[in-house]
Amino acid sequence: MITKKHFVNIISHLKEVNDFVNETNERAKRLHDSIISDFFNASSLSISFEDDLVNVLEDMFNTDLIGWWLYELDYGKKFEIGYLEEENGYKPDLSTAEKLYDYLVENLKEDKQ
């Protein structure tokens, strides 16, 4: 099992790369007329194994929740209570990587029982 610290560090590194790509794209767009290049998509700079890494994490926790949390919810920034509701009515708080990890670990334990 991956530790919470290691999980949070991985998410943090993925976010750093994502933020760098977004910032580079914005700068390139603003300088469009000044740049003589075909380079206007910094996503080509993103780490080449990001998809594999996310897939491994999702396989570890037997869920596709991580990709949704990263990409649809912008690393939890867009998360609001109620976006996820369990059958029993529980609405977890997944606003941080730490809370996401705790939720995933708890669900992994419940799945094994």
Task: Decide: helix, strand or coil at residue 86.
Answer: coil
Look up residue 9 and give its two tokens: 């560090």
Look up residue 43 and give its two tokens: 């996503």
66 near 100, Cβ under 8 Å?
Answer: yes
79 near 69, Cβ under 8 Å?
Answer: yes
Q: Taking the mean position of all CA atoms in its chain, how far away is CA 92? A: 17
Distance from C-alpha of 9 to C-alpha of 16, rounded to nearest angstrom: 10
The tens-digit pLDDT sequence of the chain (113 residues) is 899 999 999 999 999 988 888 888 788 777 766 655 555 555 555 556 788 899 999 999 999 999 999 999 999 999 999 999 999 999 999 999 999 999 999 988 777 65
**Quick one: DSSP state of residue 32?**
T
Number of domains in the chain: 1
